[in-house]
A and B are shown apart, each in its own frame.
Chain A
Amino acid sequence: MASRETPEVNGGSLADIAFLLLIFFLVTTTMDTDTGITRLLPPEPEDQQETEVKVNKRNVLVVLLNRSDLLMVGGEVMDGLALKEKTVEFFTNPRGDESLPELEEQEVQFPPGSSSLLPPDGMWRGSVSKGVISLQNDRSTTYGKYLQVQNELVAAVNLLRNDFCKLYFDKEYDELNTNNPIEEEIQLGIRKIYKMNISESDPKSIGGRN
């Protein structure tokens, strides 16, 4: 008797309602997450005085992009894809070349015991490049080309960092978890060894033939 008094609620329309909401969210969803290359702009100088920083000529790799999107690296015209290798060579200077940047002996602290290739106190000793890349573009350079060059430069540094990370810590550099203090310290240490030394000059017209 009691069961007759309370009939089951008809759940058939529940699906319809849910479908309606589902379709709404399907339509409004934009799945593409924001991706891009993050860079840091140099702070504006405090006074108008141009601060001249003395840098040895061999320590600078000048990357020029002219108005017709032609690329010149260290005095020679180059294809965009070859830039990465050139940059890697510039930063590592594997044969101690006189025309490539000086290397400086440095110590970088890593978490003790994090790698079998490091001494027990975790102190890495080795040479760090003093190289700086100077990127200059014309006002008429297209943004697409500019970003391609930026990308190659970043790729070169990332490659070096990743190789180091794999060698010492058996892990991809990208997979280091910054929420973990030990891995964060590793990341900061690697960043000290391979710095993202890309300087951009103040914009000016550097010209070039059309």
Chain B
Amino acid sequence: MSKFKKSTGKGLQKINTSSLPDIVFMLLFFFMVATTMRETEVQVRVKVPEATEVKKLEKKSLVSYIYIGRPVAQMARMYGTEPLIQLNDKLVSEEGIPYEAIQDFVLFEREKLPEADKNKMVMSMRIDQDISMGKVDDVKQALRRAKSLIINYSAKKEYRDQGRQR
């Protein structure tokens, strides 16, 4: 018994924690690299549809976002519940088709890109799945007019059981 007590007394050393910072730093760097900061606050409610054939968007710097959806609860008091368009972080509150706003937005975003990438700009369309196509078609027409032709219908990856899949 006494032997046992003695051994516990000796074993009560501090655990060596000198490698703890290393481990934590490793995790830290992982998250720093994997992080993409949320730059824009989305003011419309968007639940993108699911699709099987989705691809990753490669170059983030080329991508601008167009959101279409009904305003979130806090914004509903100001803007009502009709579907609205948000361009990156700016909510377009006017009624009807915001051709002007989209044109300006495209020009502004294109200006930010280097000369070589100006015609590679991608418009990521994050559209709620219950929005009617009328609004979407209007935006597409506006984009055509602004000569921003590469668009990406944002969708979540869907996994299907039946049939062949990738």
> Which residues of chain A have a CB within 8 Å of any CB of chain B?
11-12, 14-15, 18-19, 21-22, 25-26, 28-31, 33-44, 65, 84, 137-144, 146-148, 150-151, 154-155, 158-159, 162, 172, 174, 202-203
Q: Select the stretch in B16-24, B86-94, B100-108, B110-118 that faces chain A.
A: B16-24
- Tell me if A25 and B17 are in contact (CB < 8 A): no
Q: B45-58, CB under 8 A of A: which get 1 and which 0?
A: 00011011111110
A154 to B166, CA, bound (A): 13
Known: A30-B38, A34-B154. A143 touches B28 (CB 8 A): no
A33 CA / B124 CA spacing, docked (Å): 12
A143 touches B34 (CB 8 A): no
**In the complex, A65 Cα to B132 Cα: how many Å?**
12
CB of B155 closer than 8 Å to a CB of A:
yes
Question: A29 CA to B35 CA in the complex, in Å?
Answer: 5
| A18-B21, A158-B166, A203-B141 known; A43-B149 Cβ under 8 A | yes
- Is A35 a contact of B28 with CB atoms below 8 Å? no
Residues on the B chain within 8 Å of A18, using CB: 21, 24-25, 28
The answer to whether the Cβ of B32 comes within 8 Å of any Cβ in the partner chain is yes
Contact of A41 among B54, B131, B143 (CB under 8 A): B143
Q: Inside 8 A of B127's CB, which chain A residues have their CB?
A: 143
For the A-B complex, the count of residue pairs with Cβ-Cβ distances under 8 Å equals 161
Q: Tell me the chain B residues, 114-150 only, with Cβ under 8 Å from chain A.
A: 122, 124-125, 127-134, 136-138, 140-141, 143-145, 147, 149-150
CB pair A158–B53 under 8 Å, yes or no, is yes
* Residues from chain B with Cβ under 8 Å of A38 in the complex: 55, 57, 122, 150-153
CB distance from B165 to the nearest CB of A (A): 9
Q: B63 at the A/B interface (Cβ < 8 Å)?
A: yes
Chain B residues in 8 Å Cβ range of A147: 49, 51, 129, 153, 155
Majority SS of interface residues in chain B? mixed
- Cβ distance B10 to chain A, nearest Cβ, rounded Å: 23
The reply to whether A140 and B133 form a contact with Cβ atoms under 8 Å apart is yes
Tell me which residues across on chain A come within 8 A of B48, comparing CB atoms: 36
Task: Give Cα A11 to B122, complex, Å.
Answer: 47
19 A-B pairs with CB atoms under 8 Å apart are: A18-B25, A25-B28, A25-B31, A28-B38, A30-B37, A34-B60, A35-B156, A39-B153, A140-B133, A143-B132, A147-B49, A148-B49, A151-B53, A151-B155, A155-B53, A158-B166, A159-B164, A203-B137, A203-B141
Would you call A36 and B54 a contact (CB within 8 A)?
A: yes
Contact B57 A162 (CB under 8 A): no
Task: Check A144–B129 contact: CB distance below 8 A.
Answer: yes
CB within 8 Å for A30 and B36 given contacts A142-B131, A158-B53, A158-B166: yes
Q: Pick the contact of A203 from B133, B145, B164, B166 — CB < 8 Å?
A: B133
